[in-house]
Structure 1
Amino acid sequence: MNRTLLPGRPYPLGATVTSKGTNFAIFSEGATKVELCFFDMEGRQVDSVYLRERTAYVWHGLVRNIKAGQLYGYRIDGAWEPEKGHRFNAHKLLVDPYAKALWGNVDWQKPIFGHDAASGDDLKMDENDSADGVPKSVVVDSQFDWGDDRCPETPLADSVIYEMHVKGFSIRNPAVPEELRGTYAGLACETSIDYLKKLGVTAVELMPIHHFIDERRLVGDGLVNYWGYNTLGYFAPMARYSSCGDIGGQVNEFKRMVKALHAAGIEVILDVVYNHTCEGDQLGPTLCWRGVCNTTYYRVREDNPRYYVDYTGTGNTLNVRLPQVLKMLMDSLRYWVTEMHVDGFRFDLAATLARELHDVSRLSSFFDTIHQDPTLADVKLIAEPWDVGEGGYQVGQFPVLWAEWNGQYRDTVRRFWKGDGGQLSALANRLTGSSDLYQDDGRKPYASINFVTAHDGFTLCDLVSYNQKHNEANGEDNRDGSDSNDSWNMGAEGPTDDAKINLLRERQTRNFLTTLMLSQGVPMLSGGDEIARSQRGNNNCYCQDNELTWHDWNLDEPRKRVLDFTSQLIHFRLAHPNLHRRKFFQDREIRRKGEDIVIKDVAWFNTDGKQVSDEAWNTEWNRSVAVLLNGRTLQVTDEEGRRVIDDSFFLVVNAAEGGVEYVLPASPSGKPWCQVIDTENIESPFTCAEIDGKIIVGGRALKLFSDGAVSSISGSSESASSVFSPPALPSKQGSVLV
């Protein structure tokens, strides 16, 4: 079949549908020939053309009569000199690095390795055709009716993030149509969105949906890559999560999901993996970048370019120092914002992206480029601020405009509620926004993404149920996953019939959730924690695509209580700007203009009602403290210039085994304190009661009091125990303007 080939354009990269056909453009600095191959739906090659035009190392051409839905791939010829880092092999079909969709799976039984895999000799070229074992790129038409879609634009300070897995969330939900479960459409359906709205979250953070592959070892063991941190396409939504059988249909299905979530006021944040790819080390397969231009896309060792620099623990590291690779990442980010309408990104192992030579640099070209890009000016940028290389732990070290997963928050809160000594000083910092990490560099409390659990590690249910990890199902003899979990099983490893232990576990769950939602910063709830999802002690479920990781919506009474409690807690937080301040506490006396009253915005108290001394902060034995958050000192105004005020709160946390008596200080408003949360109360933790004088906080419990200065507070008997029913909300209206 003859194809008419026109010169085309070098930009944009990838396959772009035009009125004349489709323009193809691919960057390869070291290529000597670039063959563009076309395939039918059975994966058979039906035609090919050689791109003759090359502009600034971009090979390009416009092919007549190529339309959306066409499958294609590249074969690129050049030097085979692995000892110099060059691994061109024209026998291997390559995925377009800019493909907007992929079709088919990797077949590890096919000759997809550029080298002689049988002997393990990566210096010897393999000359077998790999086309049968490589996914095909898809020509995609970008047209889509977005209608009046608008980003909800929830300020980060006011956000509650829900980290979730697209498949795991709905695959077992009987209220979701069976054909939609586990897909983008399943997340977009009315039942799923209704649940998220009633839960109260403002954003979903989707675990990787960039097209990824299953590793060879996993496939051989009958497992899959469930989490998705193994990217093959930075512009392509994962086809596995599509309910649509059409080639390329996953693109519009993803867009419909975003549009539906936006209509419900929920933002979409993507977990992106720009630090490494699925091609692994020098013994990995040749699927894309390795064969397109190895020394451009990957960081190879300066002393021996045959091998890769590996800061990620996966075998390779993307070479973000080079302009072309940085351009690919920026083009990907812009594509997901402009074409797919997502609202933010969480960057996996983000410290790797900041490495210029070997050290992590706040002045790296990656940060500079992002900060200068107007398309990314309003999106949420969240870093996982570490990698596995030397000096890779960078919590608190990212520049302005960036928020960070606060690993120190997780560790401190876990250790405090486990009962470890000497945690009060660190806990005070974590409860008040981690000013020790973020204040000095110009950032605000919402730079701290607070979390107790995430996809990586124990679920919240397992955190209070296991002392050790139980990862045998992963096939690595329980060697994988962290051994440092700061967990406590309360006296029995795993499920138990001991009623006393189960009640304590449920109370500890409420303690963790309440601490998270009452802390300054941005709370991130790990999907399923609100229904006490368990992974049976597996703290590294990256390869478990089964009931071990899927949400179980068959809720018993204890799990219903956790759901109702979490929903009420989130809505309570959202109603009170005093719980998600935009500025750090000054921790000093403040005299406002025109007023004689001298007040503090935050104050810490001992049991006797007196403020905590400097010496008391670091005592090993003390496991209880109280903090007053003054709602009259928010120091923010609305868009009309009116001052915002809120209720004041008095929070008492007690990780000791026995109860503690506290003398209540006077409230800033002069009104009596009203108890609004008691985690010791299993049936009615939100029951309100007016308190004066002294109170007792039970062992391993938390109490919150409000002065009700802005509006009254009362509990609610409504239930949130199914995906249909509304949440039980406090009848609380939040702040007022004066």
Structure 2
Amino acid sequence: MTSLGATITNEGIRLAAWSSSARRIWVSIFNDEGNRELDRLELRPEGEGVHALFVAGLAAGARYGFRADGDYAPEQGLWFDPDKLLVDPYAVEIDRPYAYDGRLAARRGEGADTAPLLPKAIAGFLPEPLAALPPLFRSGGLVYEVPVRAFTMLHPDIPKHQRGTIAALAHPAIIEHLKRLGVGAVELMPVTASVDERHLPPLGLRNAWGYNPVTFMALDPRLAPGGLAELRQTVATLRDAGIGVILDLVFNHTGESDRFGPTLSLRGLDSPVYYRHWPDGSLVNDTGTGNTVACDHPVVQEMVLDTLRHFVRHAGVDGFRFDLAPILGRVGGSFDTDAPLLRAIRNDPVLGDRVLIAEPWDIGPGGYQLGNFPTPFLEWNDKYRDDIRRFWRGDRGMVGALATRLAGSSEIFAKAGQQTSRSVNFIAAHDGMALADIVAYQHKHNEANGEQNRDGHDDNLSWNNGVEGETRDQGIVTARFDDQCALLATLFASRGTIMLTAGDEFGRTQKGNNNAYAQDNEITWLDWAGRDQALEKCTVLFAAIRRSMPALSDTLFLTGQPLAGSEIPDVAWLTETGAPLDETDWHDQERHRLVMMLGGIGDEDRRLAVVINGDRRKCMFTLPPRQGFFWSPAAADAPDISRPVPGRMVIFMIERKAGPANAEGNHDG
């Protein structure tokens, strides 16, 4: 397809938009402040839906928007209205953030010109494409989920003018923190331009997450006041520190919402093509947001691919996480693992080697697709999240599920001969309770969202250790600390890729709010000054152990057989006595203890034991001895198992070679 958007030459700018059903399309040219329309020029049809015009003398920095006319029949999905300024879907920069205004949703003939209410696209030169470098991040590493604004708004070391921006992520204090955690890649929650949902302004709230996009390529000026150059420089600085960048992108819906929503861009250009509709003309709502992007249409597919290539070529990102990813694979409404868009992303020469992470569910028919995305897509694994929470909550009969999740969830991902896990293991994410709240709140507390606590999930698989919310009871405080440590240790002991949401390593809390999308305030802003440094120290220890033991991050499925060149099985599942679990043990509804013993560690063919006491009682653990080796903690200051292991604890034990003086000794605890 001919290039869309603004193409700058020495003689002027070519401006192009696509619509299959608009009768006329204009470009409005604005002054440098974007508040006065200087000219309105009609684009010329060029065939295949492209409307374009070369404007001689127009230079880089020009501000513009489109207008379109045609039939106005919302009941048929047609919303043409020349009074609605439309932001270019291919805009790579806008001059101000989006702000919701009810006038943007006025019916044709009932409202005034919306140009004063909308940002203007800025025509600008893109930086030279970056040299093609392989992604830093590989499967098995640690993904660190970052809400860009909330992450640094309260960070004392970040200059105030830089807090809450992409540039702040390149600050030495942030990089030092990421390196201590062993972060393989930061996953930036949406940084492209988004708009508040229409019910938020009357409540005095605003969208804090960014999952309500309008333009897919343009960065939000609040997060990237320096534009694409800011993202590009931050990616480069993080890369120099050995840390990749993954962008969380939303292609499943836009902020134009349902039939009562605003007309901002795609709706006014060609709603029947850009959005999925039912035969009666109403919008399909497989996203729960009011609309669903038609990712099975070739024009939409090309827009998605162009967006992904844009961020790889001009910002150098390692990859992408796709929100409600089944939408990208829906063909005619049904999910297809070999859908054209999914296939095109995998086969694209620019995108084929990038990190691809799917959130494998939406709310449409057949929307739960965990395990069904094609290789090399990694997938958020909510079964891991739920089973790990259930085990540490104390649910009965969970030891088998725990072992399965620790080992990479083979029953989900070992399909069609696959030998490696594509699981992204996580216990908490932006959507849901913070890790500290999982052990402090048995029920959600979303009152601040203004919906009488009706929003958000009700089944959080959480517990409160006896008191709901904050408490000064030292016994409960200690129990919650232990539970958080146990959850974190389990995550870092799990095979495959793991994900940690920023702040969970030091006890971030949202006061029980499990749907804090509308809380751009201290509820979501990370409290760096008040962080739990003891918990952070534990997390750093777990991260160091994981980095030093590649068997923990390996993505190969375990078989119970020796690896090549080893005589030791790759895994053995043991009871607290050191005996293999038998059928009775696996089905013991009251069993809350487990040892995962991994073999073939390092050149000396050693073993690593992950000792898990999920009971609240102490227990003596014994590990199988081996001639010439002894067991000791994997970290110098970690607990040993020479004494009973306290309840609610995970201990990493490594087999070490005995010295000449104690070659006959086996320290088995």
Q: TM class, shorter-chain normalised?
A: over 0.9
Does residue 1:289 correspond to 2:289, yes or no? no
Shift of the alpha carbon at 1:184? Answer: 1.4
For 1:698 and 1:107, the matched residues in 2 are separated by: 53
The 8 Å contact of residues 625 and 653 in structure 1, kept in 2 or not, is answered as yes
The AA in structure 1 aligned to 2:245 is: V
Does residue 1:676 correspond to 2:634, yes or no? yes
1:430 counterpart residue number: 405
Q: 2:57 aligns with which of 62, 65, 71?
A: 65
1:120 counterpart residue number: none
Q: 1:646 to 1:128 in 2, by over 3 A?
A: farther
Shift of the alpha carbon at 1:144? Answer: 5.4
Structure 2 counterpart SS, 1:571: helix
The 8 Å contact of residues 137 and 355 in structure 2, kept in 1 or not, is answered as no
2:290 counterpart residue number: 315
The AA in structure 2 aligned to 1:34 is: I
- 1:171-250 equivalences in 2 (<5 Å): 171-242=153-224, 244=225, 249-250=226-227
Shift of the alpha carbon at 1:280? Answer: 0.6
Q: 1:352 aligns with which of 321, 324, 327?
A: 327
Q: 1:709 to 1:329 in 2, by over 3 A?
A: farther
The AA in structure 2 aligned to 1:552 is: D
Structure 2 counterpart SS, 1:658: coil
Q: Give CA deviations for 1:268-293 in whole Å, capped at 9, x if unaligned.
A: 10111110110011121111001100
For 2:80 and 2:337, the matched residues in 1 are separated by: 34
The 8 Å contact of residues 154 and 528 in structure 2, kept in 1 or not, is answered as yes
Q: 1:153 aligns with which of 136, 152, 160?
A: 136
Shift of the alpha carbon at 1:618? Answer: 2.2
For 1:240 and 1:151, the matched residues in 2 are separated by: 30
For 1:419 and 1:501, the matched residues in 2 are separated by: 16
Shift of the alpha carbon at 1:82? Answer: 2.5
Which is further off, 654-663 or 179-188?
654-663
Q: 1:572 to 1:663 in 2, by over 3 A?
A: closer
For 1:29 and 1:591, the matched residues in 2 are separated by: 58
1:638 counterpart residue number: none
Q: 1:22 aligns with which of 10, 13, 18?
A: 13
The 8 Å contact of residues 578 and 648 in structure 1, kept in 2 or not, is answered as no
1:664 counterpart residue number: 623
Q: 1:32 aligns with which of 18, 23, 48?
A: 23
Percent identity, aligned pairs only, is 39
Q: Give CA deviations for 1:338-358 in whole Å, capped at 9, x if unaligned.
A: 112111111101112222123
For 1:237 and 1:446, the matched residues in 2 are separated by: 33
Does residue 1:495 correspond to 2:470, yes or no? yes
For 1:710 and 1:44, the matched residues in 2 are separated by: 80
Q: 1:145 to 1:591 in 2, by over 3 A?
A: closer
Structure 1 counterpart SS, 2:609: strand
Shift of the alpha carbon at 1:201? Answer: 0.7
Q: Which runs of 5+ in 1 are unaligned?
A: 1-9, 117-124, 635-643, 678-683, 712-738
For 1:709 and 1:338, the matched residues in 2 are separated by: 49
Does residue 1:648 correspond to 2:607, yes or no? yes
1:579 counterpart residue number: 552
1:514 counterpart residue number: 489
The 8 Å contact of residues 134 and 353 in structure 2, kept in 1 or not, is answered as no
1:708 counterpart residue number: 656
Paired residue total:
658
Which is further off, 473-482 or 365-374?
365-374
- TM norm structure 2: 0.94
2:127 counterpart residue number: 143
Shift of the alpha carbon at 1:180? Answer: 0.7
For 2:35 and 2:615, the matched residues in 1 are separated by: 64
2:579 counterpart residue number: 610
For 1:181 and 1:199, the matched residues in 2 are separated by: 21
Q: 1:561 aligns with which of 534, 552, 577?
A: 534
2:644 counterpart residue number: 696
Shift of the alpha carbon at 1:256? Answer: 1.5
Structure 2 counterpart SS, 1:436: helix
The AA in structure 1 aligned to 2:92 is: K
Shift of the alpha carbon at 1:484? Answer: 0.8
The 8 Å contact of residues 103 and 138 in structure 1, kept in 2 or not, is answered as yes
2:117 counterpart residue number: 133
The 8 Å contact of residues 399 and 441 in structure 1, kept in 2 or not, is answered as no
The 8 Å contact of residues 87 and 114 in structure 1, kept in 2 or not, is answered as no
Structure 1 counterpart SS, 2:612: strand
For 1:646 and 1:338, the matched residues in 2 are separated by: 43
Q: 1:451 aligns with which of 410, 423, 426?
A: 426
Does residue 1:372 correspond to 2:331, yes or no? no
Q: 1:212 to 1:602 in 2, by over 3 A?
A: same
The AA in structure 2 aligned to 1:362 is: T
Q: 1:265 aligns with which of 236, 242, 248?
A: 242
For 1:216 and 1:688, the matched residues in 2 are separated by: 53
- 1:532-543 equivalences in 2 (<5 Å): 532-543=507-518
Shift of the alpha carbon at 1:252? Answer: 1.4
For 2:448 and 2:402, the matched residues in 1 are separated by: 35
The 8 Å contact of residues 94 and 288 in structure 1, kept in 2 or not, is answered as yes
For 1:325 and 1:145, the matched residues in 2 are separated by: 23
Q: 1:75 aligns with which of 67, 91, 94?
A: 67
For 2:183 and 2:457, the matched residues in 1 are separated by: 29
Structure 1 counterpart SS, 2:196: coil
Q: 1:592 to 1:268 in 2, by over 3 A?
A: closer
2:92 counterpart residue number: 100
For 1:192 and 1:141, the matched residues in 2 are separated by: 31
The 8 Å contact of residues 246 and 318 in structure 2, kept in 1 or not, is answered as yes
The 8 Å contact of residues 34 and 120 in structure 2, kept in 1 or not, is answered as no
What's the Cα RMSD here?
Answer: 2.1
The 8 Å contact of residues 110 and 132 in structure 1, kept in 2 or not, is answered as no
Which is further off, 478-487 or 572-581?
572-581
Shift of the alpha carbon at 1:606? Answer: 1.7
For 1:405 and 1:155, the matched residues in 2 are separated by: 15
1:88 counterpart residue number: 80
The 8 Å contact of residues 149 and 262 in structure 1, kept in 2 or not, is answered as no
The AA in structure 2 aligned to 1:577 is: P
For 2:404 and 2:563, the matched residues in 1 are separated by: 24
Shift of the alpha carbon at 1:314? Answer: 0.4
Structure 2 counterpart SS, 1:662: coil
Q: 1:231 to 1:107 in 2, by over 3 A?
A: closer
For 1:342 and 1:544, the matched residues in 2 are separated by: 28
2:665 counterpart residue number: none
The 8 Å contact of residues 28 and 57 in structure 1, kept in 2 or not, is answered as yes
For 1:113 and 1:695, the matched residues in 2 are separated by: 68
The 8 Å contact of residues 163 and 454 in structure 1, kept in 2 or not, is answered as yes
The 8 Å contact of residues 136 and 239 in structure 2, kept in 1 or not, is answered as no
Q: 1:709 to 1:273 in 2, by over 3 A?
A: farther
The 8 Å contact of residues 465 and 488 in structure 1, kept in 2 or not, is answered as yes
1:640 counterpart residue number: none
